A and B are shown apart, each in its own frame.
Chain A
Amino acid sequence: MSNTPKQITLQEWDQRYEQLQRAGMHQPDYGGPLGRHVEDGDYRLLKLRYDNSAAALRLWNFLLTEEQRLYQARTRGKKIVGTMKDLGTVPVMAYSLDNLVAFYPDGAWWIPCVMELSAGLLSIADSLGIDESFCPVRAMLGAFVTGAHFPIPDLLTCSVGATCDDFSAIAQRLNSLGYPILWWEIPHRRSPEHNEPAVKLPGGFSAPKCQVEFVKSQLELVKTALEELAGESLDEKKLSAGIQKANQVRAYLAELRQLAFTAKVCPLPALEMLVAEMLAIHFCSDRDETVIVLKELVGEVRSRVKAGKGVLAADAARIFWVNPVADLQVMNLLEDCGGRICGTEYLFSHALDTIPEDLPPTEALARIALADPMVGSSVDRAERICTDIRRFGSEAVLLSRIPGASHCALEGEVITEVVQANVDIPVLEIEVPPVTDSIRPTLRTRLEALVETVIERRKR
């Protein structure tokens, strides 16, 4: 059996699965051939290309069985928390309590893509007055109304203040449909004023101490609600242990990113990297399993890097990707066009930063929440992107606009200007809807042009 790393189709995975089975591959209880998920309506899977490792299989199976996992958790008596618009803070708290499971209802963002619009969630959102002028996260409304994609949570929290208008408005609409929401606030992160006590945040930003204190007070509200739901107190010891576990996940992801983005030959495709990064947000509803999945993936990538093996050509253009893509297939498309991902800012870089372990735990979480690149100015976000561009040696930036997103229209220009001024590399802005089939030729031309520009610049 050949273990040469490569990207394969879903059909090819069936055969590969058999080979791995025969070779004695160990599988968790959610394992199985990837193709079975198409029966659940995940038609987009038929059009993607996947990494052929057993570790990637486990990653995909883990991702695609989240719904079952949530229902099983409920059957086992666990309480379910839907943590909306908060990328990687409240889940750390929730998973510190034994009988809570947290998930991220905003993840419904990808359902229209994965199910190729067949689930009808966008039409339901339309019927509730949330049309295509909103970002694809509107699919979440449909998911709540149908109850078909995740169990209705026992507690819903939503971070507001410095969030996008899309989500804030949609969450309010959800609330008006009879879903109670615990709103908590993260203020817009500002620079500390002259002589104002300041705090350095994970990831490099700084904020006034009073803002950290404020977010701390908000997290205390959330903590109380979680404790009531769990019927158990969330003391510092438990929360600190939860932070350590979250940091284990983040440490694997840090290593994975460093290896994947800096290796001579790209060891893991963009799509698998995107899925792996997303695990940091809410651990795909099973924190312990997330650690195992990432450990395997890191192991695979380590051995590939050591052997100098990878999935793409060694001269692939090194692209830094900004914002997640609504259509996953576009990640494959970039690779088809001769690019590879070397750096990402998928709106949640703070969920990849190490949470300080030498601080009182709520303070540490307040700092990480305020480190969210989206709660500060677009200039801050652009500067963080520049830092990572230098670190990973990216040769161009691809800004993928999210249709309807309130932050995209004005931030693109700022990010472009800051990147060009600071690191002088080309920036391309594209818009990616949930299903790109009709605009694929245009997208391809633009991505090819970017790759060609990068190759040309190497000759300078």
Chain B
Amino acid sequence: MGKPYISTNSIEQLRILRATEPEAVLRVKNLNVKAGDHHILKNINLEIPKNRITVLLGPSGCGKTTLLKCLNKLTDLYRELKVSGNIYIDNDDILNTTASIPDIRQKMGLLSQRPYPLPISIYKNVAYGLKLKGVRDKKLIAFSVEKHLREVGLWEEVKNRLNSPASSLSIGQQQRLCLARGLAVKPSIILADEPTSALDPTSSKIIENLFRDIKKHYTIILVTHVLRQAIRLADHVIFMDDGEIIEEGSPVELFENARTDKLRAYLVDGN
């Protein structure tokens, strides 16, 4: 018989398998965060599936923001936070790596609870990350700025005022600008910490639809307190409480067949 034989058919099968079970781009192993005696994150183990929206749920103070900050190393800004464990992004452990921190952070786009446009023009906000990357070609920058502003549906609204201050936009527009600016550095992951909590329903809807559109190309981790939003968007759900992952799985598993009392109580409160 000789060598094992793989039919074209089984390769096809493998491809389908891959497509349904996406590889993890981000793996967290035994992540612990402490602030003094306060154990903020307790032995977190996670795999975030590629090109999916992973929703992070949990009561206030359970450590969602802290977890996101670990992922892009913003915990560095807080000396009191002691972080240990492993976080693998593209198989590189960012907690124990020699890679430069700005390079790691550019693999992720951050959307915070409230938009923080940089104190420069709309155009420069989007161009900012590119310039940091060393892109100097004016045409390329202009092309990219337009592309990403179109991607977030802002282009038509701002194309005639690209040089006005970004702070002159409405909050909803600012949040989309922040998304465009994050996308411009070509991240593979988007970290969104309650990105719609400061927005009106229409702007929230726009952001939600955007997420649905762009998840083909990006892996999105979304923290939200809006249960209906979670149900609308989630491909994968993680429920945390008091620094621990309580349940993790598909939306159906968590939203319809909650196994723990904690999650059930949370879902009841949410509705």
Specify whether A and B are partners: no
Residues in chain A within 8 A of chain B (CB atoms): none
Residues in chain B within 8 A of chain A (CB atoms): none
